Structures are given as structure tokens and as C-alpha cells.
Structure 1
């Protein structure tokens, strides 16, 4: 390579002894421009690579941002799911507490029913006064503490609902909602049964079956007898019970005093209305201790045994009226324990 006088550059290419020598001439400007062009070309390549890399980086950043956003959404969904699960756990916990409270209420109600049955159940096996009682009083006795044909009665034996609830409670897949509905239904049924029991109890308490005196010595029965004053046959509308003057006289059943006073034949007397057309009458009292309009219960003292009015000696004339008609008191009194 040699430099010419005109600032040109010559390049001689020697390819071998048997090859032709080739010579190239370049101007100074060309020699200077070639490296610059090479630098520019390399720079362009580098810039292209950088641009491609930047585009890829931007694409990756976009993907990362999208994935981050999805991750945030998934995290939010998971947190929402966890919160929903926690709410469900709280709901089930509260439901379980409510169920336990209802179970306690049912147990208390069952205890009341059992106490009622133990207290009044024996009355159903007492002597049957049918045939001597009026129709409505017989219905009261028959219905008391027994299951009626239309399903309004109650029983102490386990109901199908109770058996199903026990099966659910012992199962491995307990459904609290179903059990809760079952308890609600049982609570309503037992509450209805208890109200019915109270109604039956009120009906029984209104039957004049309690002895009105401590003495049970009867001196004169119901029906025709010889009048102690005239000696003639006369209808005796009640029974006479012997006793000492001043002995307490009790109401035979729950009711309201609708009349009390004195008459020349009955002496001091008290009339108690028990409802359902039933009334009890107490005559020849030494003293009245219950006034008209007062509410009395079975066994409550309403007067003292005496011999006032048309009487031959201390005794109580006890009378039961069914729909304003005198009936034999003995079938009622036989209901007493």
C-alpha cells in the first residue's frame, strides 16, 4: 500500500506467487469515510438490537403488569371467599346456639307436659259416671287427658318428629337448617299440645268432683225420700253430708260465685258456676265466706257447715245443677282421687 501525490491511497492485493497482483486506489475521503460508515452500521445494529430488546422488555412489563393485576384480583377473590366462609361459620355457630336454646325450651316444655300428665293422668282411669252425667260433662271426662279422634289430643310417647330429630342428631352429615326447621315445628307442636293440656286442665278443674267437706259420711242420697218434717215422699235434689257445726265447706271445683245469701228453706247458701252449664250449690251453712262475683278454686273454703234454714241438724246439702236441672252428685264425686 502506498500513498500517491494526489492524496490517494493504493491497496495492493498479493494472492500468491502465481497469482496476479491486484491494486486498488482510494481517495483519502473514502478511506476516512469507510470506518465511519462501519461505525454507523455497527451503531445501527446496536440501536436495532436495543430497540428490539426494549420492545421485548415493554412486552414483558405489560405481561408482568397483567399478571400482577390478575394476581391482585385472585387475591381479592380469595380474601372475599375467606370472608364469606367466615361469615358462614359465624352463621352456623349462631344457628347452633339458637338450636341449643330451642332445645332447652323444648326440654322445659316437655317437663311441664310430663308434670301435667303425672298430676292429672290418673283421672282418666277413675270410675266412669256415664249414664248419670249430662252429655257435656261426659264429653269433658272422656276428652280429658286423652287423644281425640280429630287429632287435637296429646300423648307422652315420642312423636315421629322427635325420632327424626334424634336420627339427624346422631348422623354424620347433620344439616343444621333442616334440624332448625324441625325444632321450630316441634316447638309449635309442643306449644300447641301444652296449650291444649292447659285447656284440658281447666276443663277438669271446672268439674265439681272435689268433696265439699272433710267428712264423707252421707246421711241422705239423691232422689225420692221421706220428708223429715212432713213424712211424705219428696224429691231430694242433692245429697246430705254429715259433719260438725263449724266444719269447713270447700268449693268442689274452680268457678265463680254467682249467688250467695239466705232463705228460710235453704238457710245460708252459696252457688258456684263452673261453666259448661254446671253449677254446685251448698246449703244450710253456718257462715258464708265467699261473696257473689268472687272467683274460687277447687278446695277453697267458701263457708262453714251448719244447720240454718229448714234443717234437722248440722249437715251440708250439696247439689249439682246441669243446665238448670238437678243431677246426682255422686258420679262426679267418684272422680275424686
Structure 2
């Protein structure tokens, strides 16, 4: 994984410029540093060595500094996962700026290798938010991205995502983690820009609960759905979210194979049951969790009433989270397990 900026050793024989080129330092003889035997290694052996280092990005960065022969093989792994953030530990690093500088140049060649992109903590203030607006158009060059994650965005509804999402034609996974968005209309408007989406995760996302009913035309393509609220901050208006997925006509079909849902209000349990009924023919894995709190602690008790697991003929995995902390009594849990095993 690359987390920008990457600090180079002070004695490194090369310099990483913002345009993505590795240029020898004038005061160091790169050939003497690398050694003739290293330069004569077969490319197959180089590829094997670098493949074995795929999860060690620091070593990969060092390999790519050795010589040009090591760059093509190492960048496949080095640029596979990119995280752009404004915060890092206790310090503030404008990490996204050098990456965008590299990407906007015509000579950069790493864009096809980026398959997972995470944008994190980039709108901490209104000024920061506006500063990042032009970045969406620049990031649209990463049209090989298959997985996109937005983490900790305070006002996501104001972002010009229309400059990015339509260009990501290979996008199959979208993760929204700890994101505040204006309305469900904005959320599903964004999802409509991702017709090839097969995996969707909505984790600790807040939106306006007065949203009007929504329809989602690509609901049938989603195979993996995660809908998760925090223990002390459950997801609001889950019913309206899931209503957008539930087919309105007999011809419409859902193909969800895995569903994970945790941290919802008790009044949403009936809708969750209807949604699970609509995916009864495809659902293979179900993961639920019940959290203790006075306002939604009855969710676990009502789950067994509104969710019929006996007719989920494809279900092979049923997982209940947070049993130790849950207020759900053991008889209710036992009843659910019996239904799942029936």
C-alpha cells in the first residue's frame, strides 16, 4: 500500500519527482551502487522476488529505487492500493498534493495499476473541502479502480463526485465509512453513477431522515451488502434505505449473496425482514448484530418475529455478533438458530 508522501532515505541513490520519474542523483553512481550482478538478474527472477514482497510496501519502494529493471514489476504491487489523507497520526501531512501532481502530468504511467483507492479525512474544514474539489476530476484518470472507499467525510453531499464516479467504469466495490451526507437522494444519486457495483458497504453513515422514497435501478447487481451502525449511534431511517432495494414489481429480482446488518432501530426490523425475504433465493451468508440501548434494544426481540430464516434455502452461514454485550435473551437467540438450522 502507498501512503503519500513516501519519505526517501537521505542516502538514496535516486530522487522521486512529483511526475513519477525516478532520476539518478548526480552525486551517486547508480550502476556502481547496484552492482553488475544485480543488473544481470533474469526478469523472471526479479518478478518472483518482488511478488514475494507484495505486502511489504516499504521494501517494494526500495526495490523500485535500485534500477529501472525493477520498476515495472514493483509498481504492480506498489500502486495497487492508494490511500490519500490529510491527517496522519498526530501530524498534518498534505499527502494528496504530491500524488495529484504526479497524476496530472502526461508522463505518469502508474494510473492503470491503482485498483483500490481510499480518500480519507479530506474535508475537515470548509476550506479543506473546497481545496479538494478539483481533485475529483484529476482522480478520474484512475479508471482501473475497482474498489473506492470514502472514510471520515463531514459533508459528503457537497462533493462533486459526478466528476469522478462515471469515469470509474470498472468500479465494483464502494465503501462509505463514517460519512455525513445530506439526504438519501444524494446517496442513491451517487450509486446510480456506478452501474457495475456488486459490493456496497454503508458504515456509520448519517443522512436526513425526512428523505422522500427512493428507487435504485441497479439494486439487482449488488451481491454483497453491509449496513452497519455504531453501538451508540445507530443508522437512522434504515427502512427508507432498504425500501430502495426491495423490488417493486415481480419482474425485478435481487441477487444479494451476503448481507451484514448491525446497529439499527427496532422500528426498522420489519423492513429488514421484507428485504431478506426479497433475497431469499440468493442469500448465502447472513450476519446480524444487536447492541444494548434503551431506544433500539428491542431490535433483537423483534428480529425473530419479522425475519423468517426457514425459507432462506440457499443460506449456509448465519452469524450473530456482539452476543456478550447484547440485551437479547437466550430463548430468542435459540429460536433464531433453530430456524436457521431447519
Q: Normalised by the size of structure 1, how large is the TM-score?
A: 0.20
* Greater Cα radius of gyration, structure 1 or 2: 1
Which gives a bigger RCO, structure 1 or 2 (Cα 8 Å, sep 6+)? 1
Greater fraction of residues in helix:
1
